[in-house]
Amino acid sequence: MNNPLLEPFDQAPFSKIKNEDFKPAFLQAIEDARAEIDAIVANPEAPTFENTLEALDFSGQQLDRISSVFFNLNSAETNEEIQKIAQEVSPLLSEFGNDIILNEGLFQRVKSVYEQKDELNLTPEQATLLEKTYKKFSRNGANLKEEDKKRLRKIDAELAKLKLTFGENVLAETNKYELLLTNEQDVEGLPEGEKEAAEQLAQSRGKEGWLITLDYPSYIPFMKYAKNRDLRKKLSIAFGSKGFHNDKLDNQENVLKIVSLRHERANLLGYPTHANFVLEERMAETPEKVMDFLNELLEKAKPAAEREFQELEDFAKELDQIDRLEKWDSAYYSEKLKQKLFNLDDEKLKPYFKLENVINGVFKVAEMLFGLTFKEVSTIDKYHADVKTFEVYDDSNNFISLFYADFHPRPGKRGGAWMTSYKPQYIRNGKNSRPHISNVCNFTKPTSTKPSLLTFNEVTTLFHEFGHGLHGMLADTTYPSLSGTSVYWDFVELPSQIMENWCYEKEALELFAHHYQTGELIPMEYVEKIKDSATFQEGMATVRQLSFGFLDMAWHGTDPSGIKNVKAYETQAFENTSLFPETSETCMSTSFSHIFQGGYSSGYYSYKWAEVLDADAFAYFKERGIFNREISDRFKEHVLSKGGSENPMELYKRFRGAEPKIDALLERAGLLKSTG
C-alpha cells in the first residue's frame, strides 16, 4: 500500500502524507479496529477488567492517531479536498462508534465486569474507567430496542455531517468577505502597525489599498480603532451575519436540524432534553443547576453592566454626539474610555509583547512552576512552515512531550484559538508513552518592518491555550481515554484559565515583557494600569459571556420542535442580557461554532464555572506566592497529571483542601463592591 498513515509512526508524518492517503487509511484502520473489538467479544475466557475494559481502551489506537492527524489538519490547514474527505469519513466514523456502543456481546462483557465492581479491588483510576465505559454504553443506546438502535445510528450519522457543514459554512463566510479601502481617510484611527498589516494583506492578494477581513487580527483592531462609524457598522454586520444570508452558506436550517436531532436522540435515550443528557456527565449535573448558576451571576453582574453601558453611552454622546450606542460602537468607545481613565492603550503595550518573547515568557513560567524546559527542534515533521516544534523535558531531563505551536492566520485555518493533541499519554506494559500536544492561534503576522506584536488580550489567549497544553503535556495516567484534557467539560477550562492570571502579575511580566527594540522592561506603572484596568467593564463582559450560556441552554434545554425562526428565538433567549439595540441583519446562532460544531453544546456555561474554580485556585497561589513550588506541585499532582482519572471535585479538593467559593471570582471581577 505504501501509505504513511498505515505504517507505525510515533510523530505525525505530515510531509509524507498526501490527501489521497486519508480515506484508504481510515477504511483500513476501521477494519483493523473492528477486528480488535471482535477479538474481545470472542474471547472464550470469562470477562475481566483486563481482558475487556483495558483491551477496549487500548483498541483502535491507529484509527485514533489517523483521526487526530486528519481532523487537526481540517481545522488548521484545510482545503476543499480535505473538507470533502471529512464529509465522507465522518459518517463512517460515527457508524463505527455506534457499532461499538451498540455491540450487544461487548456490552454484556462490560456489564458483567461492572456488576462485580465491588469485589474487584480496583484502583481509583480503574474504577473510573469501568464507570465511564459502562455509562458510555448505557447512555448511548446499549439498552435500546433494535429499531431504536437503528434510528440512533441514523441520527448520529446525520449529526456528524450537519456539524461539519455548519463549520465549513462559517469558514467559507469568513474567507469570502473582504473590505477593500482605497481612501486613506477610511483607515483613520488605525495604528500604523495595523495599517501596514492591512496594506500587506491587500498586496498579497494583488490589490491596492488596505484590506480588512473577518479574521480576528484584522477585524478586532478595525472595530477598536477605525474612526469611520459607517465602516465599523458594515464590518460588524458582516461579522455578525455569518451563515445568515439565505444563500447556500446559510446555517439557519442546519441549526434547527441539529437541535431537533439532538433532542430526539436524548428522548430516545430516556432524557427530557439534550442538556439533561449532557449534564449528567458534568460537574453541574442538571440544567436547573446551570440555570441557577447563570442567574446568580447575572444578578450580581447586571447592575454593574447597566451602569457601565450608561457610562459608555454618555461618553460616546459627549465625545461624538452620537444618538445611541450600537454594537459597532462598543469596542471603539470602550478603547477611548479606557485610554481616558487609565491612559493605557494596546498600542502602548504591544511593543512589550513581541510574540517570541511572550512564548519564551510562558515557557519560563512553566519552568518556574513545573520544572519544564522547552527545546526548539527542527527535526520534527510539520504541516506548515509557520509551525514551531519543541521537545519538552522536566528538571530531571526526562522527556515529557512534543509541543507544536502554530500562531498565525491563513486561509486554510479556522478562526479562534485552541489546543489539541496528536498523541495521548498512557502507560502500557510498564512504558509511559508521552503525548504530542499542539496550540493553534491566530495572531497578527510580522510585517516587513515589525515583528509579530501582541495585544494584551492576545497575550492572555496564548497563556490560556498553553494552560490547556500543560494539561495535555503533564498527563500521567494509565489509560488513554482518561488522559490529559479528557475530563468533565466544566473542569477542562480550569488549567487554561488559571494560567491567564500570571499575565497580570509583576513577577511574571518581568520575565518577558521587554520592548522589542530597546529591550527595556515594561514600566511598572503600565503593569499597575493593566491590573487596575482588568476589571474595566467587567460587568458588561460577564453579562455578554452569560448571554452565550443562556443561548446555549435555550437551544438545548427545551423541546425545540416549535421553533421556526432562528433569529426570533435567539432574540428571546437574549432578552435578559441584551444591553445594545437589536440588529435585525445579524444572528449569532448561525456562526456559534462552539455549540453547533465543537463540543460545547449544553456546556458553554463551563467557561464561567471554571472561572469560579480558577479564581479560587489562584487565590491560593496569591496567599502563598505565585511561583510557590509546593502549591504548583500540588496543582500538577492533583489536577494537571490526573486527567479524568477521578471525580474532578475530589481532585480539586485534594489540591485546595476545600470546595471552591464564588467570592474569589466576584472579588477579582470587581463585582462584590458593585453589588453592595
Active site residues: 465
Determine the 3-state secondary structure of 374 from DSSP: strand
Residue listed under C-alpha cell 461579522 = 239
d(CA 509, CA 465): 18
Residue listed under C-alpha cell 490526573 = 642
| Sequential DSSP letters for 320-346 | H--SS--HHHHHHHHHHHHHHHH---H
Determine the 3-state secondary structure of 468 from DSSP: helix
502 by Cβ neighbours in 10 Å (0-12 / 13-18 / 19+) ranks as buried
Pick from 620, 622, 608: which is nearest to 659 by CA? 620
Handedness of CA 113, 117, 120, 126 (dihedral sign): positive
Pick from 301, 271, 248: which is nearest to 576 by CA? 301
Give the angle subtended at the CA of 463 by the CAs of 457 and 466, to the nearest 5°: 140
Asked if 152 contacts 144 with a C-beta cutoff of 8 angstroms, the reply is yes
d(CA 509, CA 524): 10
Determine the length of the chain.
676
| Sequential DSSP letters for 277-317 | HHHTTSSS-SHHHHHHHHHHHHHHHHHHHHHHHHHHHHHHH
The number of beta carbons lying within 10 Å of the beta carbon of residue 279 is 26
d(CA 581, CA 324): 9
C-alpha cell at 590: 448561525
Pick from 484, 358, 420, 355: which is nearest to 76 by CA? 420
Q: What letter represents residue 40's amino acid? A: I
Pick from 262, 70, 75, 249: which is nearest to 159 by CA? 262
Asked if 300 contacts 671 with a C-beta cutoff of 8 angstroms, the reply is yes
d(CA 636, CA 564): 48
264 by Cβ neighbours in 10 Å (0-12 / 13-18 / 19+) ranks as middle
Asked if 187 contacts 201 with a C-beta cutoff of 8 angstroms, the reply is no
Residue listed under C-alpha cell 491555550 = 465
Pick from 2, 26, 168: which is nearest to 88 by CA? 26
Q: What is the 3-state secondary structure (H, E, C) of 487-554?
A: CCCCCCCHHHHHHHHHHHCHHHHHHHCECCCCCCECCHHHHHHHHHHCCCCHHHHHHHHHHHHHHHHH
Determine the 3-state secondary structure of 211 from DSSP: strand
Q: What letter represents residue 406's amino acid? A: D
d(CA 45, CA 37): 15
The number of beta carbons lying within 10 Å of the beta carbon of residue 389 is 20
| Sequential DSSP letters for 617-641 | HHHHHHHH-TT-HHHHHHHIIIIIT
Helices then strands, each counted (H, E), the chain: 28, 9
